[in-house]
Structure formats: C-alpha cells, structure tokens
Structure 1
Amino acid sequence: MVHREQLAQAFDQLLQPGRFKDYGPNGLQVEGREEVRRVVSGVTASRALIEAAIAERADAVVVHHGLFWRGQDGRVTGWMKQRLALLLAHEINLFAFHLPLDAHPELGNNAQLGRVLGLQADGRFGEQELGFIGGRAGGGTFADAATLAAHVEQALHRRVTLVEGRPGPLGRIAWCTGGAQGYFEDAIAAGAQAFLTGEISEPQAHYARECGVSFLACGHHATERYGAPALAGHVAQALGLEHRFIDIDNPA
C-alpha cells in the first residue's frame, strides 16, 4: 500500500508530462482515497471501466483517455455526472496520461504497439516527436502493403482499412497510435513507405495514392490498448501494488 502522492510521483517521473503541450490535464484528474493498494488500468475512463474497477475494489484507475478535454462543456451533467458520481462515491483516484503516454520510448502506446507488431523504431517524427519510424525487428521487409495489413490484422485481431501506395516490398514503416492521421504527411517526409495509425480521414487516401505511401487505419482503441497496462503494471510492480488491465471492448 502506498500514498496517492507517491503513486502520482512515480507516474510523473516516468512520463514527465510537463514537457508536453496537450489537449487536457495529465496526472491525477479525480482525487480518491489517500492509500492505494489495487490499481486498474484501461484505455478510456468510461462508465463501464469505472464499474469494472469498482467490482475489482480498485483504489486507482489509470487510463489514456481521461474525463477532461480542452474546449469541452464544463457542466457536470449526463454521462460526466454519472462517471464522476461513481468515482467519488467509491473514492477511486483517476489518473490519465494522454500524449506523454503515447511518447514514452518503452512503456508508451507507440512503443508497445511496435512491440506487438514486431516493429523496431530508430527515429521519431511529427509534432512533439510523437511518431515512431523504423522497420521489422530483426530486419527484413513486408512483401507488399497487403502482407503488412494481414500481419497487423492478425496481431490486433481486427480489420484494417488499407489504402495502398506503390507496389512492392515495404521496409520503412512509420506509426502513431490513435487519431494521428494528421501525421501522415510528416511520415511521408520522414521517408516512410507505409504509415499505421488508428483512424483515417478524407485526405489521407489521396495522399497515399499521390505520394505512393501506403496508409493503414488500424483502429483508435485497437492501437492504444497497450500503453496504459504497460505503465500501470511497471509502476505497480515497482511499488508493490496489485494491478489488473480491463479492456472494455470498443469497435473504434
């Protein structure tokens, strides 16, 4: 069992959230009980995750997508009231880390997605250097974009939206989890032959065809399932806490 502030300090030392310009507050978003023994991690602070954490008798929840975002309505009504009411009634601490969790070189979403897909980064790109670029761990190439897409589908257990670029082998792969479709042009400039992210918007199909760089939309939730449990598990082990990852299914 540790004090809430000790847990917060451990997260901050690892992720250094002060280095990032983000869309919402990183760190402790909802204050719960002071003493923490059991931690639950998940992707998003949804009501389903909070209810699962209550069933697990969690003292703290660690997520990538927290409750508060820049520009949102500040009123505590509807779904926001329901989520906050559960957290406060059960004195559960809510920690959320957005871009700092994407960026961490070992525990972050991008690093962990690379591990799951067997990709090894040797460079960074994009705003705040959130994007990763490299190749297959151990070397080698993918025969073509369809082969890469099939590999990703098998690893992530979901369908991929593929817009093919030039035909032929792919050795230089860039990736950035979640809603990073806006990083595609930066990935192209960095020399990528294919770019993986969670979502696709209207312009990316044109860029892929015109620039010859394949674009793969692999799911926002699907690409960001790995950072929160890696972070929470690492810190829980270091502090002697119990930890469980709960994946709330999401088709996005």
Structure 2
Amino acid sequence: MSETVDIRELLAYCERLLEPETYRDYAPNGLQVEGRGEIRRLITGVTACQDLLDAAVEANADAVLVHHGYFWKNEPEVITGMKRRRIATLLAHDINLIGYHLPLDGHVEIGNNAWLAGLLGVNVTERFGHQQLAVAGRLEEPATGSELGARIADHLGREPLVVGPTDRPIRRIGLCTGGAQDMLGEAIELGLDAFISGEISERTTHMARESGVTYIAAGHHATETGGVRLLGERIAAEFGIEHRFVNIPNPV
C-alpha cells in the first residue's frame, strides 16, 4: 500500500528542488487549484486539459501536476466555458492542480532541456537565450540534419520538421523545448551547427536557410514530456506515493 504526504510538504519539496522564485514566469508556479490535504496518488502530464483531468478522476488521483497549468498572463480573467468546466472538475473531485512552467524547462537535472539533451547525446557546455533556459554543447555522435531528425523521431515518436541544411555534419548544437524558435538567432550568433525547439514560425525557415544553421521543430508537446514525468518520479521516490504519467497525444 502506498504512503501519503501532506500537500504542503510535497509543495515545499518542489519549491526547494525547482526554485521557481528565480524565474520571471507567465503563470503562477506551484499550487493553482486547492484540493484535499493528503496526497496518495499523483497524476502528471504536460497540459491540464480536460482529458488529463478526466484520467485523474478515473484514477482517483489526489493531485495533478503539469507543465502547462492555468491563469496565464493576458488570458481572460473570467471563469467561463472551457476554464469553468476544467476547474469545476477539479473542485468537484477535490483534486489539487500543481503547475511548474519555466522551472521545469530550466532545471539542470530533470528539466525538459536537460532531459532532451541527454536523450540526444548532447554534452552540455553552456546555457543561453531567454533567462538562460537554452542549452548548447557537442553531440557525442555527429550527424547530418536528416540523421538527427531520424534520431529525434525514434526517441520522441514524432516526425520532426527539419529546415535549412540537411546533409552537413552537426557537431555543436543548441536546444530549448517548447516554443523557443526565436532563439535560433542567438544560436546563429554562437556559431552552432543546429538548433532544436518544439515549434516553428514562417520566418524560422528563412533564417535557417540563409544562415546555414539547421533548425529542427520536434513538437512543443513531444519535447516537453520529460520534465514533468521525471519530477513525478522524484516525488514518488521521495514520499512513497503512487505516480503515473499520462500522455495526452498532441500533434503540435
């Protein structure tokens, strides 16, 4: 039988580990919707969408921990429609919603960027970009853009979009998961051979082609499945509670 942990103790552990106060974020980090005080079952996922909440209800979870939670800056403040239905689900079942955004991108061990770098065999030597979130280093096994795209597809289960050079050897590479396509400019200035993020904009293609730096859009969701899962595993190991990562497929 699993143990239980007080929600305050769980949150204090996350605060010590992730140090959210060191980031200027776009949404509140930590407890976003309060539920029951004792946590036995934890569900983690990338985004607190209705499908994830329904899975948490079915699993009789006490808390849901996500990378993309609620109450983003510049979003409508009223609780209506989709937002009302989501929050109503949490309140009706007394489930806590916990969200960590940039702290789960930047953490040096379990962050999304550290996770993806390790997955692809990048020996990280420096950080750059917005709030020093992006990482850069050398590939353990150099590869062309096409070869690296195939590696990413194998690891993430999603075919990435590769623009710019596809047949030149890539040795020095940078990455930042999610929607960090505009960090490509800094990657170019650093003299990197390639840059990976989750999304791509129209302008990104031209920057990659004209600079000769390969850009790989590997999927916002796909590149951010690692951090929250690893955090859930750490919490479960620390407190002896049940944990399950639920992947709600998203093609973006």
1:69 pairs, out of 69, 72, 78, with 72
Structure 2 residue 173 is the aligned partner of structure 1 residue 173 = yes
- Which residue pairs with 1:162 in the alignment? 162
3-state DSSP of counterpart to 1:95: strand
- Which residue pairs with 2:29 in the alignment? 26
3-state DSSP of counterpart to 1:220: coil
Contact kept, 8 Å, 1:165 with 1:211, in 2: the verdict is no
Structure 2 residue 210 is the aligned partner of structure 1 residue 207 = no
Cα distance in 2 between the residues matched to 1:62 and 1:100: 13
- Number of residue pairs matched? 249
- Which residue pairs with 1:141 in the alignment? 142
3-state DSSP of counterpart to 2:171: coil
Q: CA deviation at 1:150?
A: 1.2
Cα distance in 2 between the residues matched to 1:245 and 1:166: 34
Structure 2 residue 98 is the aligned partner of structure 1 residue 95 = yes
Cα distance in 1 between the residues matched to 2:33 and 2:123: 36
1:60 pairs, out of 63, 84, 88, with 63
Q: CA RMSD in A?
A: 1.1
List per-residue Cα deviations over 1:102-127 (Å, max 9, x = no partner): 00011111111122223231211101
1:50 pairs, out of 48, 53, 73, with 53
Q: CA deviation at 1:140?
A: 3.1
3-state DSSP of counterpart to 2:124: strand
3-state DSSP of counterpart to 1:40: strand
- Which residue pairs with 1:17 in the alignment? 20
Q: CA deviation at 1:166?
A: 7.5
Contact kept, 8 Å, 2:113 with 2:175, in 1: the verdict is yes
Structure 2 residue 126 is the aligned partner of structure 1 residue 123 = yes
- Which residue pairs with 2:86 in the alignment? 83
Contact kept, 8 Å, 1:166 with 1:213, in 2: the verdict is no
Identity rate of aligned residues, in percent? Answer: 46
Contact kept, 8 Å, 1:131 with 1:175, in 2: the verdict is yes
TM-score, normalising length: structure 2: 0.96
- Which residue pairs with 2:5 in the alignment? 2
Q: CA deviation at 1:49?
A: 0.2
Q: CA deviation at 1:190?
A: 2.2
